[in-house]
Chains A and B, each alone.
Chain A
Amino acid sequence: MSDLIYRVKDLKVSFPDLAHKPLFGAAPRTSVLKGLTFDVARGDVLGIVGGSGSGKSTLGRAMIRLLRPDSGSILFEGTEIAQLGEDDLRPLRKRFQMIFQDPMSSLNPRRRVGGIIAGPLRLQGFDDIPRRVDDALEMVGLPKSFSERYPHELSGGQRQRVGIARAIALKPDFILADEIVSGLDVSSQAQVLNLLEQLVRDLGLTLAFVSHDLSVIRRLCSRILVMHHGEIVENAATADLFANPQAEYTRTLLDAIPLPDPDQVWA
């Protein structure tokens, strides 16, 4: 079982429910993740799918410890990270990275592209940083001259490439991609997806791809985790899930995919 990147067991996350906060005292907590258990194997491209509010982004953010879970265990390559403090997490951070949904807000508008990609490298103590920045830009198909640009001088698709370059520059073992194409137009979506597919192939990335779009997930992912109301309703290989969905909710999701031909069926 050494080839598991993540072993997640009984993961629970809750947020304070400020709408129902009493005048005095703490707000009651709403449970967002209700005890999730699953594994991610090395080389997997895991699709996490579900409706809005199903907890899929929360799950991603808990996995890379942007938030601290209430309870449960997250084993990352054998290290328990669920309750680690920020100082203990720092040396591990280069091994799991994230690509964000909104490429405009995830790039600091006052830094040039080169500085944005170099920042994490510098923080994590890498050497030979200029070369690594150039390599990362090349891998995502942007010319080196772009390192002199500010984010607002790029198009949406180019910005998302910078976001990808920043994540892969650290050569992480795991990358979380949180709805990374939902803010892009269809042709940029296709380009970014092609790029991601190619990177997964070339670098042997382990990827978790959070999306509400099953057709995108189907194209990219080897396994799919279907979430509904903070619980995993189905966890299966992509082909099996589309051929033979087990859960009622998965069937509803599949039926909701718009098809080019209304009479066509998934087969």
Chain B
Amino acid sequence: MHDARGQIRRLPGLRLWLSGGWLLLLVLAAVFAPMISPHDPLEQDLFAARLPPFWQQGADPAYLLGTDSLGRDLLSRMLYGARLALTVALVAGTLTCLVGATLGLIAGYFRGWADLVISRLVDIWMAFPPVLFAILLIAVLGTGLTSIIVAIVVIDWTRFSRVVRAEAMSQGAMDYVASAQVAGRSRLGIALAEILPNVLPTIVALLTLEMGIAVIVEAILSFVNLSISTDQPTWGGMIAEGRTSIYQAWWVLVFPLVALFLTVLSFSQLGEGLKDYFDPVLR
């Protein structure tokens, strides 16, 4: 018995390469920021304020992407900003995923009163405007990296719970679950060994999406000056500073904005690409 079904293979697509490439570049930039930054990101030089990027007239080749209104090197600040953005993305994204997906799996597969409690909690949570909720949380917790991460986890776990619950519910109704029960697998065993692997592609897609969202939330909090101390460069902080001088020095606003945009886009595209790649039915 031979047919072609066993021989179909799919290559990771272009979007996986592009998004993965940008994120890899970002990781390298963040890790080696102290070595490759041409300047100290905090060093001010008021005589070199608002220098344009290298291709414009009046640029100083020492400041590749120009300087801001205090004469700090934009490229160096962006490289250091990538550190914070990536830390928040990875740590907050992963923690949110763990908390949300666990609760979603419990609600969706074990049902009963656990589902009742978790689902009502999600409903209540979703009634809060997320940005205001975040600002409120930071105001209570105080600024700092830990507070940002805690705020993101506390606000965004519902995103995972809702989706994973629905997915676990539909998987739980499949006959392979009944078949595992007939084989004598325990409830917990079924949840972890049968259902979880089938929900995993969805979780991975959500996880990368969440990492993008975490970067945005951090930028928003930096924008309203609630992220971390002002002398540490962050993309959101740079955008906030750039906003005030947009007519004199557009580059201060635009470069961090482009980096933010590409990063968030890459995270979500990476998720979609990985989801397809991990799914044996599509692979």
Chain A residues in the interface with B (C-beta under 8 A): 64, 66, 86, 89-91, 93-94, 97-98, 100-102, 105-110, 119-120, 123-124, 142-143, 146, 148-150, 152-155, 158, 166
Contact = CB atoms under 8 A, between A and B. Distances in A.
Interface residues of B, number: 23
B187 A153 contact: no
A102 B5 CA distance: 19
Contacts of B43: none
B159 interface: no
Interface stretch (B173-181, B233-241, B242-250): B173-181
Interface string B264-283: 00000000000000001100
B253 to A, nearest CB: 46
Contacts of A102: 175
8 contacts: A90-B184, A93-B183, A100-B178, A108-B180, A108-B194, A110-B197, A110-B198, A153-B8
A195 B121 CA distance: 52
B124 interface: no
Contacts of A108: 176, 180, 194, 197-198
A106 B198 contact: no
Given A109-B198, A142-B1, A154-B5, A119 B183 contact: yes
B176 A105 contact: yes
Given A109-B281, A152-B281, A120 B183 contact: yes
B176 to A, nearest CB: 4
A256 to B, nearest CB: 28
A97 B183 CA distance: 8
A166 B1 contact: no
Contacts of B3: 155
Contact of A86 (B174, B186, B280): B186
Contacts, number: 76
Given A98-B179, A106-B178, A93 B198 contact: no
A120 B174 contact: no
B184 A106 contact: no
Given A106-B175, A106-B176, A123-B184, 12 more contacts: A64-B182, A91-B184, A93-B183, A101-B175, A102-B175, A105-B174, A106-B178, A107-B176, A108-B180, A153-B6, A153-B8, A155-B3
A151 B3 CA distance: 14
A166 B175 contact: no
A119 B175 contact: no
B17 to A, nearest CB: 25
A120 B184 contact: yes
Nearest to A109: B281
Contacts of A153: 5-6, 8
Most buried by A among B3, B185, B186: B185
Contacts of A119: 180, 183, 185
A110 B280 contact: yes
B183 A100 contact: no
B135 to A, nearest CB: 39
Interface string B1-16: 1010110100000000
Interface in B160-201: 174-176, 178-187, 194, 197-198
A203 B122 CA distance: 53
A106 B186 contact: no
Contacts of A66: 178, 181-182
Nearest to A176: B182
A105 B185 CA distance: 17
Contact of B183 (A101, A110, A124, A148): A124
A64 B175 CA distance: 14
Given A106-B179, A108-B176, A123-B184, A150 B280 contact: yes
Contacts of A101: 175
Contacts of A86: 181, 186-187
A175 to B, nearest CB: 10
